């Protein structure tokens, strides 16, 4: 045999050895999930440190996966507490988000990325490619969601780095109907990627599931269980199998699940067992229809903004795009530094919006050219309100900013807010009024930003805060719907509660008629309701069963040309007669959360959604 052939054979054998070597070398990793750290409660941290100490004593553990619901209130202080705790591990560790971090994140996940590197997880160990991504609803209540840009990223990573490797996916939510709104789209895409298993949490108990045939394991919470024991999981990978065991500190592990890594559990070319149902759209085919649809491929949590012949939409990749209102054709785009969460506004020809990169931007609305930017102390996720000259926007810096839209100079800043701000402030009677994530509602003098009064929620605590609702008002009162499922009228002059009702179980969604005589709200079960907008009495005008089922997404209800519009967590738009409540039509634009719809004329509305679609609908009634 020649030297060349000998060398070639040696190389081939080495390559084969490498390819097979990972499968012949078993490894073990730990999984900690649903930690729920709370800076005001030392117990969850105590439980975490107990598990960490147990893991550190085990030399057979190669690394640790931490799979979401890390901070009970999603706050920066708890995430920093987690970061300090995890640094005491004597193993490598990798972290993904849960719904508590995404729904109540005061930084729009900027703090998470700062501490843990990225919202995505990617590494290889002994020939297994681990990929993780966010599945929780972002900033507002909704079902879990797999972002379209994350599905694109998954495919690219597997195609570029996963050839010949086993692929394990790490998420918080299970990819199932009822947990993830676009579960079928996600499983159809993922099944093509040679994925062997999902590792996750969320249910606070050990569960073995199949996501349209793809195996998945959910592990117990690190909090104490019904037996008073904290714990985590140990996962053991061999050439043939993955097994999973519960590990209570100080005790032997107890295996409860496993799969074969040689067996193919699903058809890679197959399809989901079930898909969202769009058949109801045929019922109202003559009353509503699509004018145009854009599939951006990037999740959107802000509503569209219309100005003259343009439509402006910002997304979570930080892209602000202007479209032609008549055709949907892109006019220009601008790349901000980080996520755009709040709905923008055009003020004197300047498009104003904030980002989670601690900035407020002012762009020429016609060309997209940057005119100015303001550097802030923390992320800006609030929506923008305007009086025609001044832009008003709140942020995670606990401030309300009043900005001259032409120059980008701040007219005033109010820094007396205790919580972070994500709502759109209301300008009424010379006041700027808004809620924050601190159980309070604020009224400021519009001219100088001085505090006029505050309204305190009857129940203290983050989760009761009137922070998501965009308040409405007439000459008699300000009206809000809060997370306690109450509709409330607040006095304009003094911030006193005029009335408060739980009659309809509304949540964080409200609207007002053009004449200021009626308020509209979305309930948590099927119905849209209408009340008299008075300071003196609670009087329901009408209630309509729209059939949308359980609903907890925060979306407002604009009235346009005699029609009230609302949207839901799973892609449904409803249109009702403003005076009678008669259901005019429903239209399902997708399977995912639709943000507050934007009027685009007397008979047109524009929808944006977390699936990245932007749709103009024509009301043909």
Q: Cα–Cα distance between 458 and 463 in angstroms, integer?
A: 12
Give the tens place of pLDDT for each residue, 26-80.
999 999 999 999 988 999 999 999 999 999 999 999 999 999 999 999 999 999 9
Q: Cα–Cα distance between 132 and 121 in angstroms, integer?
A: 4
Mean local confidence (pLDDT), 75-93: 97
Task: State the pLDDT confidence band at 462, using cuts at 50, 70 and 90.
Answer: confident
Q: Cα–Cα distance between 13 and 30 in angstroms, integer?
A: 33
Q: Cα–Cα distance between 617 and 107 in angstroms, integer?
A: 33
Q: Cα–Cα distance between 186 and 181 in angstroms, integer?
A: 10
β 604-608/27-32 pair status: unpaired
By the 8 A CB rule, do 89 and 56 touch?
A: yes
pLDDT at 584 > cutoff 90: yes
**Which of these, 327, 293, 288, 330, lies nearest to 312 by C-alpha position?**
330
Q: Report pLDDT for 287.
A: 96
Give the tens place of pLDDT for each residue, 314-339.
999 999 999 999 999 999 999 999 99
**Could you say which DSSP state residue 612 is in?**
S
Give the tens place of pLDDT for each residue, 229-252.
999 999 999 999 999 999 999 999
**Which of these, 283, 235, 275, 276, lies nearest to 257 by C-alpha position?**
235
Mean local confidence (pLDDT), 275-297: 96
* Residue owning tokens 């959604």: 609
Give the tens place of pLDDT for each residue, 154-203.
999 999 998 889 999 999 999 999 999 999 999 999 999 989 999 999 99
**Which of these, 600, 527, 520, 619, lies nearest to 564 by C-alpha position?**
520
Mean local confidence (pLDDT), 486-496: 97
**Which of these, 323, 357, 321, 355, lies nearest to 341 by C-alpha position?**
355
Q: Report pLDDT for 219.
A: 98
Q: Which residues pair with 423 in a beta bridge?
A: none
Q: pTM here?
A: 0.94
Residue 373 CB contacts under 8 Å (≥ 6 apart), including other chains: 359, 360, 361, 362, 408
pLDDT at 204 > cutoff 60: yes
Mean local confidence (pLDDT), 255-268: 97
pLDDT at 24 > cutoff 60: no
Show the CA angle centred on residue 255, arms to residues 250 and 258, nearest 5°: 145
Q: How many CB atoms lie within 10 A of CB 110?
A: 22
Q: How many CB atoms lie within 10 A of CB 19?
A: 12
């Amino acid at each position: 045999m020649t030297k060349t052939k000998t060398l070639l054979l040696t190389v081939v054998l080495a390559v084969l050895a490498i390819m097979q070597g990972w499968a012949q070398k078993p490894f073990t990793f730990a999984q900690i999930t649903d930690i729920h750290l709370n800076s005001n409660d030392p117990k969850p941290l105590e439980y975490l440190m107990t598990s960490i100490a147990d893991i550190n004593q085990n030399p057979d553990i190669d690394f640790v996966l931490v799979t979401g619901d890390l901070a009970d209130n999603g706050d920066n202080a708890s995430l920093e507490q987690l970061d300090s705790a995890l640094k005491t591990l004597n193993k490598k560790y990798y972290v993904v988000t849960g719904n508590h971090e995404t729904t109540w994140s005061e930084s729009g996940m900027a703090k998470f990325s700062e501490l843990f590197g990225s919202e995505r997880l990617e590494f290889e160990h002994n020939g297994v490619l681990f990929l993780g991504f966010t599945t929780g609803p972002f900033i507002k209540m909704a079902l879990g969601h797999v972002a379209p840009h994350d599905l694109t990223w998954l495919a690219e990573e597997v195609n570029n780095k996963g050839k010949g490797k086993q692929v394990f996916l790490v998420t918080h939510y299970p990819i199932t109907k009822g947990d993830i709104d676009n579960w079928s789209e996600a499983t159809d895409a993922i099944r093509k990627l040679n994925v062997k298993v999902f590792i996750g949490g969320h249910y606070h108990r050990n569960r073995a599931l199949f996501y349209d045939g793809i195996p998945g394991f959910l592990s117990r919470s690190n909090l104490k269980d019904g037996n008073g024991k904290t714990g985590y999981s140990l996962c053991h990978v061999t050439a043939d199998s993955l097994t999973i065991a519960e590990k209570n500190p100080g005790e032997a592990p107890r295996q409860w699940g496993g799969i074969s890594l040689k067996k193919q559990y699903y058809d890679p070319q197959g399809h989901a067992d079930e898909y969202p149902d769009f058949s109801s759209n045929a019922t109202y085919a003559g009353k509503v229809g699509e004018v145009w649809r854009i599939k951006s491929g990037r999740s959107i949590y802000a509503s569209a903004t219309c100005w003259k012949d343009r439509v402006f939409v910002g997304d979570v990749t930080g892209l602000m795009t202007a479209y032609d209102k008549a055709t949907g054709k892109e006019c220009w785009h601008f790349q901000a530094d980080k996520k755009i969460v709040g709905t923008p506004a055009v003020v004197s020809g300047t498009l104003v919006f904030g980002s989670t990169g601690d900035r407020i931007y002012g762009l020429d609305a016609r060309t997209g050219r940057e005119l100015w930017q303001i550097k802030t102390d923390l992320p800006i996720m609030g929506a923008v309100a305007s009086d025609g000259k001044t832009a008003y926007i709140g942020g995670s810096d606990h401030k309300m900013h009043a900005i001259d839209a032409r120059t980008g100079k701040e007219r005033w800043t109010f820094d007396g807010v205790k919580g972070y701000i994500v709502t759109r402030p209301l300008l009424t009677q010379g006041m700027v009024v808004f809620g924050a994530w601190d159980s309070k509602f604020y009224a400021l003098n519009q001219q100088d930003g001085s505090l006029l009064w505050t309204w305190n929620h009857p129940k203290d605590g983050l989760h009761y805060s009137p922070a998501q609702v965009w308040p409405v008002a007439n000459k008699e009162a300000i009206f809000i719907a809060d997370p306690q499922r109450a509709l409330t009228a607040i006095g304009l002059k003094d911030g006193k509660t005029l009335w408060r009702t739980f009659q309809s179980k509304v949540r964080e969604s409200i609207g007002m008629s053009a004449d200021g005589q009626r308020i509209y709200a979305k309930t948590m079960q099927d119905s849209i309701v209408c009340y008299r907008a008075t300071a003196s009495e609670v009087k329901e005008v009408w209630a309509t069963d729209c059939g949308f089922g359980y609903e907890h997404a925060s979306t407002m209800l604009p009235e346009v040309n005699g029609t009230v519009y609302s949207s839901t967590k799973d892609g449904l738009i409803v249109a009702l007669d403003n005076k009678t409540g008669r259901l005019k039509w429903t239209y399902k634009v997708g399977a995912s959360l639709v943000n507050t719809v934007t009027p685009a004329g007397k008979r047109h509305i524009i929808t944006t959604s977390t699936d990245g679609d932007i749709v103009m609908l024509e009301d043909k009634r």
